[in-house]
Copies of this chain bind each other. A is one copy, B any other.
Amino acid sequence: MTSEDRGQSNLIGSDRVEGTAVYAADGKKIGQIQRVMIDKRSGQVTYAVLSFGGFFGLGEDYYPVPWESLRYDIGLEGYKAGLTEERLQGAPKYRDEDKWDWADRATGRSVSLFYGFPVD
């Protein structure tokens, strides 16, 4: 058992974040983290990409959410999101990774706005 498992460390390995469960505001498990998007220069995680395939029957859709919208819950051993399952239905998503342009400012703005974060 590592210090991470005991929740005593503030650090978590990227390969452990991937696959970690995500819970809705009501505590219901709604999906998992597929990957996180890291700013190459600063090393800041900006988005988590959530996958819900099989839970909503939506197939392999991916939902980019601002990292700040998730909170790690030691008790749940997962991340808690402020959103509900219902609200998620209208969230920005993509199926084909090649069609989602992370470099596009408008893309980032649409995600920030949906989750209630300020945009420039």
Contacts of A47 in B (CB 8 A): 11
**Residues of A in contact, count (CB < 8 Å):** 38
Q: Is the CB of A3 within 8 A of B101?
A: yes
How many angstroms between the C-alpha atoms of A4 and B15 in the bound complex? 20
Chain A binding surface, main DSSP class: mixed
Does chain B have a CB within 8 A of A103?
yes
Most buried by B among A3, A10, A12, A41: A10
- Closest-by-CB residue of B relative to A66 is B43
Q: Is the CB of B102 within 8 A of A9?
A: yes
Q: Assuming the A-B contacts A11-B39, A14-B14, A14-B17, are A1 and B98 also in contact, with contact meaning beta carbons closer than 8 angstroms in the complex?
A: yes
